C-alpha cells in the first residue's frame, strides 16, 4: 500500500504527519510513504532528520501572485501524485494541502483529513467537503453535520519519542543544575516574539524563582547567556529531554504544542496568538483550560502578570502536580494508530 501525506506552512502541520507515518510503518513495515511539504527549509530539514522521503511544492501565500503560485502548486502536486500513485492521501492542513487535495480529488484518490484545532481552518473547511473521513484532534467548537461529514475524534498525533525523554539528559544538554523548578518557554514552531521579549525583560526576576529553557524560534533571539538560562532557536532532537526536564511551561496555544505538553503532563500557562486563522489559538486555549491543567493569560497582561503568576504556582508543588495530571487528560495516546487504521481502510 502507498500513502501520501501532505501538509505545510509550519512544523505544526508536518510533525503530526510524521507521527502518523511512524504508526503506518509500525502497522505495515513495507508500506511506501511519501510527503508533500511546502518549500520552507525548516519543514524539509525536519523531514530529512526523520529519514522520510519528501517532495517540496510551492506554498501559496496571500499576495497578488497567489493565483499563479496556487496553479503552480497544483501542477506540482499533480505530477507528484502521478509519479507516486498513492492509494490514499493524509491531509494535515495548511495552505499547501489545498492544491494536493484538489489534485487528489481530480484523480479520485480517497482523502483522510485531520483538523488539529478546536476551530477548522479555511483550507480544511474546503478539503472536508472532499474527504472520505474527517479526523478531529480537539472537540470542534461547532457541530458538523454527520449527514455530510464522516467525523471521527482521534485526538492529535505526536511522535512517540516526545514522551520518552530523560531529565538527566535534559539537564546535561542545557547545563542547568536541576536544583530549581524549570520553566519551559516555547512559542510554537515559528517562535513567539512577544513571549521572547517578556521573558528577556523579566529574566532577572524569573531566575530568582526558576531556571529557564527558552525555545526562541528560528531567527529570533533570546537573552544573553547566564547561569540558570539556556536558549536555542529550534530543538527537534532535544525536545523529548527538554519536556522531561520542565516543571511548568509558558506557551502559545497551537494544538500540536498543547498536545505535546499534555502528553508529558506539564502544567502550562497558555498565551494565545489573537486575531489569526479564525482565532483558533484562543479557542484551543479556552478548550484546554477546561481540563484544569492550564491557565490562559492574555498577551497584553503578560508583562505585569507573568512574574507573580509564576511565583504563585511554583510555590505550590501540590497544585502544580495536580495540574500536571489534569493536563495529561488532553492527550490521546492512540491517536496516530487510530488515524493509521483509518488510512489503511481508505484505499480506493
C-beta separation of 150 from 206 below 8 A: no
Mean pLDDT along residues 43-48? 90
| pLDDT over 80 at 112, yes or no | yes
Place of cell 492529535: 156
**Domain check: are 313 and 180 in the same one?**
yes
Give me the sheet containing 211-215, strands edge to edge.
Answer: 229-232, 211-215, 182-186, 248-251, 268-270, 294-296
What pLDDT does 189 receive? 57
Backbone dihedral region for residue 156 (phi beyond 0: left; psi -120 to 50: alpha; all else: beta): beta
Q: How confident is the model at residue 348 (pLDDT cuts 50, 70, 90)?
A: low
The pTM of this model reads 0.90
Q: Which three cell numbers stand for residue 86?
A: 498513492
**Domain check: are 83 and 146 in the same one?**
yes
- The secondary structure of residue 277, as a DSSP letter, is G
**Domain check: are 194 and 293 in the same one?**
yes
C-beta separation of 306 from 346 below 8 A: no
**Domain check: are 84 and 140 in the same one?**
yes
Compute the Cα dihedral for 320, 157, 334, 291 and give only its sign: positive
- The secondary structure of residue 347, as a DSSP letter, is -
- With vertex at residue 219, the alpha carbon angle to CA 184 and CA 5, rounded to the nearest 5 degrees, is 80
Higher pLDDT, 255 or 347: 255
**Domain check: are 181 and 72 in the same one?**
no
Q: Which domain holds residue 227?
A: 161-328
**Distance from the first to the final alpha carbon of the chain:** 11
Q: What is the CATH number of the domain that holds 129?
A: 3.40.50.2000
**Domain check: are 188 and 233 in the same one?**
yes
**Domain check: are 263 and 225 in the same one?**
yes
- The pLDDT tens digits of the residues spanning 187-219 come to 865 557 889 999 999 999 999 999 999 999 888
Amino acid at each position: 500500500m502507498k500513502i501520501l501525506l501532505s501538509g505545510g506552512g509550519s512544523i505544526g502541520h508536518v510533525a503530526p504527519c510524521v507521527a502518523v507515518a511512524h504508526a503506518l510503518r509500525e502497522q505495515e513495515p513495507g508500506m511506501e510513504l511519501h510527503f508533500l511539504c511546502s518549500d520552507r527549509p525548516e519543514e524539509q530539514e525536519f523531514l530529512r532528520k526523520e529519514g522520510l522521503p519528501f517532495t517540496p511544492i510551492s506554498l501559496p501565500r496571500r499576495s497578488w501572485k497567489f493565483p499563479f503560485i496556487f496553479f503552480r502548486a497544483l501542477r506540482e502536486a499533480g505530477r507528484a501524485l502521478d509519479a507516486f500513485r498513492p492509494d490514499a492521501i493524509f491531509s494535515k492542513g495548511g495552505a499547501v494541502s489545498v492544491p494536493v487535495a484538489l489534485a487528489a480529488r481530480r484523480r479520485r484518490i480517497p482523502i483522510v483529513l485531520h483538523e488539529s484545532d478546536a476551530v477548522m481552518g479555511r483550507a480544511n473547511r474546503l478539503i472536508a467537503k472532499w474527504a472520505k473521513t474527517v479526523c478531529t484532534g480537539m472537540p470542534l467548537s461547532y457541530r458538523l453535520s454527520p449527514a455530510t461529514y464522516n467525523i471521527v475524534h482521534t485526538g492529535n498525533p505526536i511522535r512517540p519519542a516526545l514522551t520518552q525523554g530523560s531529565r538527566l539528559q535534559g539537564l546535561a544538554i542545557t547545563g542547568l543544575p536541576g536544583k530549581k523548578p524549570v520553566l519551559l518557554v516555547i512559542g510554537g514552531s515559528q517562535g513567539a516574539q512577544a513571549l521572547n521579549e517578556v521573558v528577556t525583560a523579566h529574566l532577572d526576576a524569573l531566575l530568582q524563582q526558576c531556571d529557564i529553557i527558552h525555545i526562541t524560534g528560528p531567527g529570533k533571539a533570546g537573552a544573553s547567556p547566564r547561569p540558570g538560562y539556556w536558549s536555542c532557536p529550534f530543538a527537534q532532537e532535544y525536545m523529548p529531554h527538554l519536556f522531561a526536564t520542565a516543571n511548568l511551561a509558558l506557551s502559545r496555544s497551537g494544538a500540536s504544542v498543547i498536545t505535546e505538553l499534555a502528553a508529558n503532563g506539564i502544567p502550562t500557562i497558555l498565551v494565545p496568538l489573537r486575531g489569526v486563522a479564525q482565532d483558533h489559538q484562543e479557542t484551543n486555549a479556552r478548550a484546554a483550560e477546561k481540563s484544569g491543567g492550564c491557565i490562559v493569560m492574555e498577551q497584553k497582561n503578560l508583562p505585569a502578570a507573568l512574574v507573580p503568576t509564576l511565583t504563585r504556582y511554583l510555590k505550590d508543588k501540590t497544585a502544580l502536580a495536580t495540574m500536571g495530571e489534569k493536563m495529561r487528560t488532553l492527550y490521546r495516546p492512540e491517536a496516530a494508530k487510530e488515524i493509521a487504521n483509518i488510512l489503511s481502510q481508505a484505499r480506493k
